[in-house]
Structure 1
Amino acid sequence: MDIYKQFTFDAAHFLPNVPEGHKCRAMHGHTYYLTVFISGPVLEEAGWVIDFGDVKAICKPVLDRLDHSLLNDIPGLENPTAENVARWLWLHFKHAMPGLKKIELKETPTSGVIYEGD
């Protein structure tokens, strides 16, 4: 069974590796929408794959680090494209969240990435 939990966070960034004159080279902000997908069997006694409260507890300190920050200042996010932010999140979640299947990160309502790990 697959379950998911959704989160939002607000952060600023700029893309240092795009050409001069590209609008994303200037600092700007997004409200990011994150969906974390977890796959596993329904535990018979509990009746769930994982407690949604546990998912929230795992994600909260990581997302608190990103929320209202300049992503470029966070080690590992010096080039904070949506793809790189998704990969960074995956690396920070995968060991603490058994069954992590994929994450979806939207930086606008119509633009985002889905990452399933390497």
Structure 2
Amino acid sequence: MQLTISQRFFFDAAHTLQRTLEAEGSRRIHGHTYHAEVSVTGPRDPATGMVLDLGLLRQRLETVRLQLDHHLLDEVPQLDRPTLENLCLFIAHQLTDLQPPVSQVRVWRESLGDACTLKLTTA
């Protein structure tokens, strides 16, 4: 039996983006409040009753959050272009050693109504 647990966090950050639509505003430094949710899927450990201790997941997400919160995302190492897609990939990459592994990362901007979801397959 597989169970999925998740934890959310948010961060405020600025960025620029080179694009053809909404180009003028995107080129200027501007900021957003981003929300992220990380899910982990796996079996329940009979000894603890947990898939993964949510306290451990919160600790790991705090280290990721600190790399993004109140930063210019253009300058975050390993992020590449600061798109929702790349934020999902960045967050997943920071957690590759979690066991059970991350099964999904979702990043969204509530104020704009946009989101990206990365679904990771587990073997």
Report the TM-score when normalising by structure 1. 0.89
Post-superposition shift, 1:42? 1.0
Residue of structure 2 in register with 1:12 after alignment = 14
Post-superposition shift, 1:53? 0.4
RMSD: 1.8
> Does the 8 A contact of 1:13 with 1:27 survive in 2?
yes
Aligned partner of 1:32 among 34, 54, 57: 34
> Where has structure 1 moved over 3 Å in runs of 4 or more?
none
Residue of structure 1 in register with 2:44 after alignment = 42
Alpha-carbon distance between aligned partners in 1 of 2:81 and 2:5, rounded to the nearest angstrom: 30
Give the AA of the match of 1:19: T
Residue of structure 1 in register with 2:58 after alignment = 56
Pick closer, same or farther for the CA change 1:21–1:6 going to 2, 3 Å: closer
Alpha-carbon distance between aligned partners in 2 of 1:52 and 1:9, rounded to the nearest angstrom: 19
Aligned positions, number = 117
Structure 1, unmatched stretches of 5+, are: none
> Does the 8 A contact of 1:77 with 1:84 survive in 2?
yes
Post-superposition shift, 1:97? 4.7
Deviations 1:66-96 (Å, cap 9, x if unpaired)? 1000000112234101111111111111223
> Does the 8 A contact of 1:87 with 1:117 survive in 2?
no
Give the AA of the match of 2:58: K
> Does the 8 A contact of 1:19 with 1:25 survive in 2?
no
- SS for the counterpart of 1:19 is coil
- SS for the counterpart of 1:48 is coil
